[in-house]
């Protein structure tokens, strides 16, 4: 058993894509959030803007100083790969190689930000091509990436996606298969609770079959909405927390309130989510 508290909440910065990094940090301060899931995209930090490694490191040190001066820390780095020109499964070898090089640079960035955790997903294989071929190429790509992660001391947090996002890793069975085939201690699981519900899976089954491979949680209401505003309801939302506590989860609860309907006012979406969670999460142990 564990006790999950408000101190374990983290927020992914992708929600603030139309605001400056300073605004994002101000918002986190106002919401009482100290754990940052840093999304690697413009206008905050995009590695593509810094092809020369030392330039990237300098910029990261500047951002890290801003974060830590506010008593915050980066707990995971989330480089953008789902909607950008990257692919683990493409039949184009040059594209796969570029993706792996980008992700290796992202691992360096994560360490520079002060975290050994890097988020990833499989992306989508071209839907008109053979899925099994795409799956095999994805396994090969993730094996190569995991080998690099092992050498660098980085843990890769792999999540499942929804059918509109991907045709590869969508559910618990897919996750089990990918973990088994990649077979690396550097590859762990991020359970996205929305994708889990869409697939008809449940958190208990994830734990029963994956155990301590579960090292990260993406938490939100249905459709990645404000916590308490969607279709899940308090019983389910609180139930996730109690299940995590039952299985001894001690990591972050990463708020992925990720929908373009909130881009105009991301602060309110996070503030309302945190206020709702105060109903059943203590401040700290």
- Domains in the chain, CATH or no CATH each: 6-277 (3.20.20.150)
> Peptide bond before 43: cis, by omega within 30 degrees of 0?
yes
Say which DSSP state 55 is in: H
Question: What is the Cα–Cα distance from 90 to 87, expressed in whole angstroms?
Answer: 6
Question: According to the model, what pLDDT value does residue 82 have?
Answer: 75
218 within 8 A of 254, measured Cβ to Cβ: yes
Dihedral of alpha carbons 7, 12, 15, 21, sign: positive
Structure tokens given for 218? 């993406």
- Give the number of C-alpha atoms closer than 13 A to the C-alpha of residue 271, restricted to the C-beta side: 10
Chain mean position to CA 233: 23
Spatial CB neighbours of 116, under 8 Å, sequence gap ≥ 6:
110, 153, 154, 155
Quick one: three-class SS letters along 121-140? Answer: CCCCCCCCCCHHHHHHHHHH
Question: According to the model, what pLDDT value does residue 1 have?
Answer: 78
pTM for the whole structure: 0.97
Structure tokens given for 244? 């995590």
Question: According to the model, what pLDDT value does residue 81 have?
Answer: 84
Question: According to the model, what pLDDT value does residue 281 have?
Answer: 97
Residue segments in the chain with a per-residue pLDDT below the cut of 70: 83, 285
Reported as a single tens digit per residue, the pLDDT across 216-267 is 999 999 999 999 999 999 999 999 999 999 999 999 999 999 889 999 999 9
């Amino acid at each position: 058993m564990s006790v999950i508290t408000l101190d374990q909440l983290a927020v992914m910065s992708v929600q603030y894509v139309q605001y400056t990094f300073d605004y994002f940090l101000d918002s986190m301060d106002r919401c009482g959030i100290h754990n940052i899931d840093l999304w690697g995209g413009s206008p905050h930090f995009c590695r593509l803007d810094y092809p020369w490694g030392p330039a990237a490191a300098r910029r990261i040190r500047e951002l890290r100083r801003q974060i830590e001066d506010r008593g915050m820390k980066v707990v995971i780095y989330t480089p953008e790969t789902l909607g950008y020109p990257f692919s683990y499964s493409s039949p184009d070898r040059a594209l796969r190689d570029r993706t792996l090089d980008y992700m290796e640079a992202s691992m360096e960035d994560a360490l520079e930000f002060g975290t050994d955790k890097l988020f990833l997903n499989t992306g989508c294989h071209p839907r008109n091509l053979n899925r099994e071929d795409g799956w095999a190429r994805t396994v090969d790509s993730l094996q190569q990436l995991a080998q690099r992660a092992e050498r660098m001391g980085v843990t890769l947090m792999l999540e499942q996606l929804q059918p509109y996002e991907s045709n590869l890793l969508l559910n618990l069975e897919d996750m089990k298969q990918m973990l088994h085939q990649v077979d690396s201690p550097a590859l762990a699981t991020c359970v996205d609770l929305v994708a889990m519900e869409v697939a008809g899976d449940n958190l208990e089954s994830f734990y029963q079959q994956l155990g301590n491979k579960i090292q990260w949680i993406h938490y939100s209401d249905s459709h990645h909405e404000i916590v308490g505003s969607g279709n899940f309801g308090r019983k389910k939302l609180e139930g996730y927390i109690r299940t995590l506590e039952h299985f001894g989860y001690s990591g972050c609860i990463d708020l992925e309130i990720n929908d373009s309907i909130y881009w105009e006012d991301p602060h309110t979406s996070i503030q309302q989510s945190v206020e709702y969670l105060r109903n059943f999460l203590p401040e700290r142990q």
